[in-house]
Structure 1
Amino acid sequence: MLRLLTTFSSRTGRVALLAIFFILSLTWMLLSPSHDNPGLPTYSARYGHNSPHPIDSLIQTAENDLQDLLETEAHDLQDAADKYRARRGRHPPPGFAEWYKFAKSKDSLIVEEFFDQIYTDLTPYWALEPKELRRLARSIPTRILVRNKTAIMKTDEPRSWMDSWYDLVSKLEDGLPDLDMPINVMDETRLVVPWETITEYMQKEKVNRVMPSPSHVKSEYMSLNDWDGEDVEPYNPGFTVPGEGGYWEMARVGCPPGSPARNTNLPMVDFNEPPWEYGNFERLSYHGYVSNFSLAKDPCVRPEMQVLHGTFLEPVSVSTSHNLMPLFGGSKLPMNNEILLPPAMYWAQNDHYSGGEQEHGGPWESKTNKAVWRGAATGGRAREPNWTGFQRHRFMAMMNATAVAQAEKNQGHGINFRLPNYADYKLKDDGSVPQLLADHTDTGFNHLVCHPYIESDPRCPYLDPYFEVAPGMAMKTMYDFKYLPDLDGNSFSGRYRGFMLSTSLPIKATIYNEWHDSRLIPWVHFVPMDTTYLDIYGILAYFLGGRDDTARKIALAGKSWGEKVLRREDMQIYTYRLLLEYARICDDQREFLGYVDDLKAA
Structure 2
Amino acid sequence: MSSQLAALCAVTSFLWLINSVEDHQIIEQPRLSSTLILLIASLTSYATSHFSGWLPGANGRFDDELGLSSTGNKTRPISQRNFPKKPRRYFVFILIVCIILRLESFHRVTADLQCSKPGLEAFIPVLILAYQLHSSPRRPRTFDEERDDFTRTMYEAIPDFLARSLYILVPSTLLISFGAYLALISEPRSTLFCSPQHDWARFVVLVQWAGVVLDAAIVIIAWRILAWARTTKSRLRTLAGILLVSGLGAGIFWGLSGDGVGSDTLFWFDVVIDGLTLATLLVSSSLLAPEGGAVLGFAGVVTFITGFLISVQRVWTLGSWENVSGWQTWGAVVGMSAGFTFFLHATDIKKVMFIHRAFVIMALMAVVIAVSIFTPIKMSKGMDSHPLGKLIYDSRVESDRWLIHASYSDSLPSAVREYGERHYGRDPPKGFDRWWEFAKQKKSPIIDHFKQMGDDILPFWGVPPAKLREDTRKAAKEIDMALLQIQNGTARHNLPTENPYQTIMDELVDLIKDFVEYLPDLEMAINLNERPRVLAPWDQIQRLAAAGMKRKKASSLLPGGSSGGSEYGKKDMPKPRLTEAVDKDELLKNTMSPKVLRELTSLSCPTGTKVKSGVHWDIRDFCSSCAKPQSNGQFLTNFGLSLELCHQSDLMRLHSFYMTPAEVPPTTSLLPIFSRSKTDNYADILLPLSHPPQTTPLTPPKTPQPWSKNHQKLYYRGSISRPYSDKPLLRGGQEERLVHLTNLPPSSTSTTTTRLILPNQSRSRAHYRSVSTPHLNTLLPFDTAFTSYSPCQQTPSSCPLDFHHLTSSSSPPDPFSNQYILTLDSSTSPSPLFLPTLSSPSNVPFLSTIFKEWYTDRVLPWVHFVPVDIRFHGLHSTLAYFTGIQGQTKEHGSTDGKWIAEQGAKWAARALRREDRQVYLFRLLLEWGRLVDDGRDEGGFKISSS
On whether the aligned pair clears a TM of 0.5, the verdict is yes
Deviation at 1:156, TM superposition (A): 7.8
Is structure 2 residue 644 aligned with structure 1 residue 294? no
Deviation at 1:355, TM superposition (A): 1.1
Alignment of structure 1 residues 335-374 onto 2, 5 Å:
335-345=681-691, 352-355=696-699, 359=702, 361-374=704-717
Of the three residues 854, 858, 878, the one matched with 1:515 is 854
CA distance in 2, matches of 1:265, 1:428: 32
Aligned counterpart, 2:867: 528
CA distance in 1, matches of 2:945, 2:556: 7
Which stretches in structure 2 are left out of the alignment for 5+ residues?
1-319, 321-378, 574-586, 759-765, 885-889
SS at match of 2:603: helix
CA 1:361 to 1:345, structure 2 compared with 1: closer, same or farther past 3 Å?
farther
User: Could you say what the CA RMSD is over the residues aligned between the two structures, in angstroms?
Assistant: 3.3
Is structure 2 residue 446 aligned with structure 1 residue 110? yes
- Structure 1 residues 420-429 or 119-128, which shifts more? 420-429
CA 1:196 to 1:351, structure 2 compared with 1: closer, same or farther past 3 Å?
closer
CA distance in 2, matches of 1:187, 1:166: 18
Higher relative contact order (CA 8 A, sep 6+): 1
CA distance in 1, matches of 2:600, 2:780: 43
TM-score by length of 2: 0.52
**Which amino acid in the other structure matches residue 367 of structure 1?**
N
**Which amino acid in the other structure matches residue 137 of structure 1?**
T
Deviation at 1:465, TM superposition (A): 3.2
Q: Kindly indicate whether the alpha-carbon contact (under 8 Å) linking 1:368 and 1:480 is maintained by their aligned counterparts in 2.
A: yes
Deviation at 1:59, TM superposition (A): 1.5
Is structure 2 residue 933 aligned with structure 1 residue 587? yes
Aligned counterpart, 1:128: 463
Is structure 2 residue 399 aligned with structure 1 residue 66? yes
**Which amino acid in the other structure matches residue 435 of structure 2?**
W
Aligned counterpart, 1:538: 877
SS at match of 2:869: coil
**Which amino acid in the other structure matches residue 95 of structure 1?**
G
Is structure 2 residue 487 aligned with structure 1 residue 487? no
- Structure 1 residues 92-101 or 126-135, which shifts more? 92-101
Is structure 2 residue 416 aligned with structure 1 residue 81? yes
CA distance in 2, matches of 1:381, 1:61: 45
Q: Kindly indicate whether the alpha-carbon contact (under 8 Å) linking 1:313 and 1:386 is maintained by their aligned counterparts in 2.
A: no
Of the three residues 830, 840, 865, the one matched with 1:502 is 840
CA 1:493 to 1:351, structure 2 compared with 1: closer, same or farther past 3 Å?
closer
**Which amino acid in the other structure matches residue 684 of structure 2?**
E
- Structure 1 residues 183-192 or 437-446, which shifts more? 437-446
Is structure 2 residue 808 aligned with structure 1 residue 470? yes
Deviation at 1:182, TM superposition (A): 0.2
CA distance in 2, matches of 1:351, 1:190: 19
SS at match of 1:443: strand
Of the three residues 251, 270, 275, the one matched with 2:620 is 275
CA 1:293 to 1:161, structure 2 compared with 1: closer, same or farther past 3 Å?
farther
Q: Report Cα offsets for 1:345-381 as digits up to 9, x if no partner.
A: 29x8x9941415x637321111111111112025785
CA distance in 1, matches of 2:803, 2:871: 19
Q: Which one has a bigger Cα radius of gyration?
A: 2
Q: Report Cα offsets for 1:392-433 as digits up to 9, x if no partner.
A: 01101111141x763xx5442xxxxxx544479946556687
CA distance in 1, matches of 2:431, 2:708: 47
Q: Report Cα offsets for 1:410-457 as digits up to 9, x if no partner.
A: 442xxxxxx544479946556687355465121110010217859xxx
Aligned counterpart, 1:201: 544
Aligned counterpart, 1:254: 604
**Which amino acid in the other structure matches residue 554 of structure 2?**
P
SS at match of 2:808: coil
Q: Kindly indicate whether the alpha-carbon contact (under 8 Å) linking 1:433 and 1:537 is maintained by their aligned counterparts in 2.
A: no
CA distance in 1, matches of 2:720, 2:572: 47
SS at match of 1:450: helix
Deviation at 1:81, TM superposition (A): 2.0
CA 1:120 to 1:66, structure 2 compared with 1: closer, same or farther past 3 Å?
same
SS at match of 1:242: coil
Aligned counterpart, 2:615: 265
Deviation at 1:56, TM superposition (A): 2.0
Q: Report Cα offsets for 1:116-140 as digits up to 9, x if no partner.
A: 1111100100101001100110111
CA 1:542 to 1:525, structure 2 compared with 1: closer, same or farther past 3 Å?
same
Q: Report Cα offsets for 1:1-36 as digits up to 9, x if no partner.
A: xxxxxxxxxxxxxxxxxxxxxxxx9xxxxxxxxxxx
**Which amino acid in the other structure matches residue 904 of structure 2?**
G
CA distance in 1, matches of 2:663, 2:769: 43
Deviation at 1:169, TM superposition (A): 3.0
Deviation at 1:242, TM superposition (A): 3.1
TM-score by length of 1: 0.80
Q: Kindly indicate whether the alpha-carbon contact (under 8 Å) linking 1:144 and 1:166 is maintained by their aligned counterparts in 2.
A: no
SS at match of 1:102: helix
Is structure 2 residue 900 aligned with structure 1 residue 554? yes
Alignment of structure 1 residues 171-250 onto 2, 5 Å:
171-172=511-512, 173-207=516-550, 209-213=551-555, 219-222=560-563, 224-229=565-570, 241-242=591-592, 245-250=595-600
Of the three residues 504, 516, 529, the one matched with 1:164 is 504
Deviation at 1:384, TM superposition (A): 4.0
Q: Kindly indicate whether the alpha-carbon contact (under 8 Å) linking 2:444 and 2:910 is maintained by their aligned counterparts in 1.
A: yes
Q: Kindly indicate whether the alpha-carbon contact (under 8 Å) linking 1:242 and 1:250 is maintained by their aligned counterparts in 2.
A: no
Is structure 2 residue 310 aligned with structure 1 residue 310? no
Q: Identity of aligned pairs, percent?
A: 25
Which stretches in structure 1 are left out of the alignment for 5+ residues?
1-24, 26-44, 233-238, 413-418
CA distance in 2, matches of 1:214, 1:222: 13
